[in-house]
Amino acid sequence: MVLFEQINKIFLSAENVFKDIIGGLENWCIAFNNFFLIFCGYLKYIFVFIILTIGIFTLLKLRGVYSQSRSASTEDKEDYLMRPRLILGCCYVVLGFGILFDYLTYFLLIILEPLPDRLIYNFITFSGIDPFYLNGIMDISASQFPHEKTIYYCFSCISLTSILDILLSLWYLINNNRIINNPRRTVGFLISGITGGILFGFNTCFPFFL
């Protein structure tokens, strides 16, 4: 009888410890969620600053190259990437101002919505998890627990990182004066960005910029 009571106390103690751990994790998720929402306000301007800097520097570099060719009265026929660089620089400037003033963010949300992305949820479903438990992760408005929002926010961060990988890789490939120091690494970043966008979504992060 005494042994049974001791075993019962051990199980109750372990259950209380487990509940404390779960409660601590939920509290940590609440703190992280609050931090993420505040950080997104700054992250929008950081993202816009990076995109605008790339676009403006690209256009300024092209302006310098064009001025040198005019002063030398020669035309660089080998620089066949000048027009793509001009288009890329203008696109980055438009993208930066569009996200800054939100009009392009809405446009991207509409355009990118039909893409077959966010395949990470399919892999989670294949693992045998009940799809009912994924509702709070797939749709943040349906989240009932803090950890569901935390998972969604983490997926959003990966989505934003993937978009940056794609943008920076394209800029480097087009704006490197035909000299790529480490092409495998650059192409690897590009492929990882596309893969991350397909898995976690290309527009998962954009609603937090509004």
Ramachandran bin of 109, using left for φ above 0, alpha for ψ from -120 to 50, beta for the remaining angles: alpha
| Predicted confidence band of residue 16 (pLDDT cuts 50, 70, 90) | low
The whole-angstrom separation of Cα 189 and Cα 29 is 30
- State the pLDDT at residue 84: 75
Q: Given 3-state DSSP classes, what are the helix, strand and coil percentages for the chain, each rounded to the nearest 5?
A: 80, 0, 20
Delimit the domains of the chain by residue range: 27-209
Is the pLDDT at 82 greater than 80? The verdict is no
Is the pLDDT at 77 greater than 50? The verdict is no
56 and 175 in contact (C-beta within 8 Å)? Answer: no
How far is Cα of residue 17 from the mean position of the Cα atoms in its chain?
Answer: 36
pTM: 0.76
Number of Cβ within 10 Å of residue 169's Cβ equals 20
Express each pLDDT in 45-58 by its tens digit.
888 898 888 888 88
Place of tokens 């990470």: 120
pLDDT mean across residues, the chain: 77
